[in-house]
Copies of this chain bind each other. A is one copy, B any other.
Amino acid sequence: MLKLTMLDLAISGLLVEGDLHGYELKKRLAELLGSWSSVSFGSLYPALRRLERGGYVATVEDVDAATPMSGSLGAELAAFRRDPARRARASTGRRARKVYTLTEAGHAQLTHDLGDPNGDEKSFAIRVAFCRLLPPDQRLELFRRRRDLVAAGLAGRVERDARADQYRRSLFEFQDDRLHRELAWVDQLIASAETESPTDHLTPGGSPS
């Protein structure tokens, strides 16, 4: 029952959408987290082994190349059909790939950690990326907590630009703007989530508009 890292969270989340091998996982992580978060193999593979040891993921047989069609590897198959190079590679030998799948325990841990109020705030983006896995009320809570945090961050930013040169003032302005935009974004997320959550926003005597 160890706590999932940011990386673990991302891996587990991606595996929900389908079984993947390490190399492909790295590419998906890059496009999910942005290309410059560069998850290296040196952290990816140990993370996978960690998750495997914990029983959160398991390796399955590599069905691709032998039986190309399989579950969520459909996208890969499309490219497979279009690209002659891939076909060639598959027919001849390719280095053995270890394909990972998320276990039930892994799925449970993922949904638990996604909604964990004590979770790392740096993983908020990842949590949003997979928040559809959460029940509506927990999703709403996730957004609300973030909102409060960002608002607090904004409130804490007072009278700091005395004795700051132009560059630092520009930096502070930029960061303030960032926080304001994030606040607006989270508010939008909250609004979006509220329409899907039956409870928790029954402000009685409200304004009909």
Contacts and interface: CB of A to CB of B under 8 A. Distances in A.
A171 B129 contact: yes
Query: Which bucket holds chain A's interface residue count?
Result: 35 or more
A192 B166 contact: yes
Interface string A139-165: 000000000010011001100100101
A121 B37 CA distance: 10
A34 interface: yes
Given A153-B34, A170-B185, A178 B175 contact: no
Contact of A163 (B17, B128, B166, B168): B17
Contact of A131 (B125, B157, B167, B189): B167
Interface in A65-92: 75
Nearest to A132: B165
A131 B164 CA distance: 11
8 contacts: A17-B163, A125-B171, A125-B175, A128-B168, A132-B168, A166-B192, A174-B181, A177-B181
Contact of A189 (B75, B167, B175, B192): B167
Copies in the complex: 2
Nearest to A168: B129
Interface in A123-140: 125, 128-132
Contacts of A168: 128-130, 132
Given A129-B168, A129-B171, A170-B192, 14 more contacts: A31-B157, A32-B160, A34-B153, A34-B157, A35-B152, A35-B157, A36-B121, A132-B167, A170-B189, A174-B181, A174-B182, A174-B185, A177-B181, A178-B178
A188 interface: yes
A167 B170 CA distance: 31
Contacts of A163: 17, 75
Contacts of A31: 157, 160
Contacts of A156: 35
Contact of A149 (B32, B36, B192): B36
